[in-house]
């Protein structure tokens, strides 16, 4: 249990997993942080749904739900929409083992409304457990803060007389649009490559993006780095292929880059490109993580600059942290262009916010409009 005094307004978490060992691990790690409070646990999806169905009587407020993918009676994918129906403001983090079946279900869950995922630790070594604990607590705190603000704001709007209960001083007013200095579109060249970087909320955004535009409108290769472990990236590539009309697969070491194809960085590796003679080849490395990530966006962008120079168009989607910002600086310095997802439609405005506030973007757009901007710039239509 927690060793320090709890925050007066902690992030409220429900842990759902059929394994008592995993439930105990999650509870112990999360409860050690004074900004997090465990309000409920459940061993099945049905139990979790029933707990939330009765939450109005029991006064169970939930900001975060960690949800196991595979459970008896009702699995995580089935429980997901039922839990969101009962607590629309909650952010659900899928917890999955690193298997193909679980990865496929998890990626599907992310496209259906889950906010993020966690790969359960496979090893008990100190380093592995430290990394897992850091990721778990970071995701719960970042996503939980967003969910808590939404929950308190909605409670205040629904029942203003309950102000003393919901503590409106904790409810931050809706942020006005930030003042962002955009670069001139007139400087954008028609690209020979498109790069996309994303993290938390990325699978949902990518599914929507690729469903909206047809890649044959700009016959250039697309390089994609999404922060994901092995197995998950292969399933993400399959999902993109399913919703679009172009080939999408994990990049393979030494394969030639072909216009019109989408290359996804394989989990736990960095995906780069290199020029050999007249050919551009995929280069897969296990260089150290950057920004605590492997794959990471920055090394991909650095390698693209070396090969394509100014003929690069970068799109940064929703995600925690600032991975991609340093790489985008190099892209812009060489004459390439950057666009980013706006704050309102991002699950977390970390990565896109970093490039936007750094003055690197020619456009910052909501997700439903990004495909139009991407197509215009990719075709050289700058007005």
- For residue 118 the two structure tokens come to 């966690």
Residue 179 CA to residue 162 CA, distance in Å, equals 34
Lookup result for tokens 């506030």: 357
Measured in residues, the chain has a length of: 383
Largest CA distance in the chain: 72
Q: Is position 199 annotated as part of the catalytic site? A: yes
Q: What kind and span of H or E run contains 287? A: none
CB environment 312-345: b (16+ within 10 A), e (fewer): bbbbbbbbbbbbbbbbbbbbbeeebbbbbbbbeb
User: Which residue is catalytic, options 17, 68, 227, 371?
Assistant: 227
* Catalytic residue from among 63, 323, 342, 363: 323
Q: How far apart are CA 34 and CA 42, in angstroms?
A: 22
Sheet with 116-119: strands ordered across: 36-42, 11-16, 64-68, 91-96, 116-119
Q: Count Cα neighbours of 298 within 13 Å in the Cβ-side half-sphere.
A: 17
Active-site residue identified among 43, 96, 199, 244? 199
Tell me the CA end-to-end span of the chain in Å, nearest whole number: 59
Please give the structure tokens belonging to residue 92.
């659900």
Catalytic residue status for 227 = yes
Alpha-carbon span 117 to 151, nearest angstrom: 21
Within the chain, strands assigned E span 11-16, 36-42, 64-68, 91-96, 116-119, 193-198, 222-226, 248-250, 262-264, 270-276, 279-285, 312-316, 337-341, 363-365
Residues 314/140/30/267 CA torsion (nearest 10 deg): -30
State the CB neighbour count (10 A cutoff) for residue 259: 12
323 is catalytic: yes
| Region class of 113: left (phi > 0), else alpha (psi between -120 and 50), else beta | left
Phi then psi for residue 281, to 5 deg, are -120, 150
Tokens of 4: 């320090």
Tell me which residues are annotated as active site.
Answer: 199, 227, 323
């Amino acid at each position: 249990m927690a060793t320090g005094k709890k925050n007066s307004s902690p992030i409220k978490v429900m842990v759902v997993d059929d394994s008592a060992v995993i439930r105990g691990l999650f509870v112990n790690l999360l409860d050690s942080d004074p900004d997090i409070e465990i309000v409920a646990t459940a061993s099945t999806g049905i139990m979790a749904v029933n707990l939330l169905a009765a939450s109005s009587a029991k006064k169970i407020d939930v900001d975060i739900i960690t949800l196991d993918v595979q459970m008896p009676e009702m699995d995580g994918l089935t429980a997901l929409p039922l839990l969101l129906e009962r607590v629309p403001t909650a952010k659900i983090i899928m917890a999955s083992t690193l298997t193909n079946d679980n990865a496929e279900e998890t990626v599907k869950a992310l496209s259906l409304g889950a906010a993020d995922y966690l790969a359960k630790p496979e090893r008990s070594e100190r380093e592995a457990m430290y990394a897992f604990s850091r990721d778990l607590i970071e995701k719960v705190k970042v996503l939980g803060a967003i969910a808590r603000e939404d929950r308190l704001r909605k409670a205040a709007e629904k029942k203003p007389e309950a102000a003393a209960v919901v503590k409106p001083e904790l409810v931050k007013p809706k942020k006005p649009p930030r003042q962002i200095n955009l670069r001139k579109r007139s400087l954008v060249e028609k690209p020979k490559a498109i790069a996309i970087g994303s993290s938390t909320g990325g699978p949902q955004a990518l599914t929507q993006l690729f469903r909206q535009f047809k890649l044959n409108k700009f016959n250039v290769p697309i390089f994609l780095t999404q922060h994901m472990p092995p197995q998950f990236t292969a399933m993400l590539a399959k999902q993109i292929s399913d919703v679009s009309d172009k080939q999408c697969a994990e990049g393979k070491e030494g394969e030639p880059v072909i216009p019109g194809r989408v290359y996804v960085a394989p989990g736990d590796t960095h995906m780069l490109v290199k020029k050999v003679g007249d050919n551009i080849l995929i280069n897969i490395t296990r260089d150290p993580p950057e920004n605590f990530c492997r794959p990471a966006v920055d090394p991909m962008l650095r390698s693209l600059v070396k090969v394509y120079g100014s003929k690069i168009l970068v799109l940064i989607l929703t995600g925690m942290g600032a991975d991609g910002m340093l790489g985008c600086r190099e892209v812009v310095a060489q004459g390439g262009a950057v666009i980013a997802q706006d704050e309102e439609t991002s699950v977390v405005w970390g990565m896109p916010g970093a490039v936007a506030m750094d003055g690197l973007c020619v456009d910052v757009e909501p997700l439903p409009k990004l495909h139009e901007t991407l197509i215009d710039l990719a075709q050289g239509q700058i007005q």
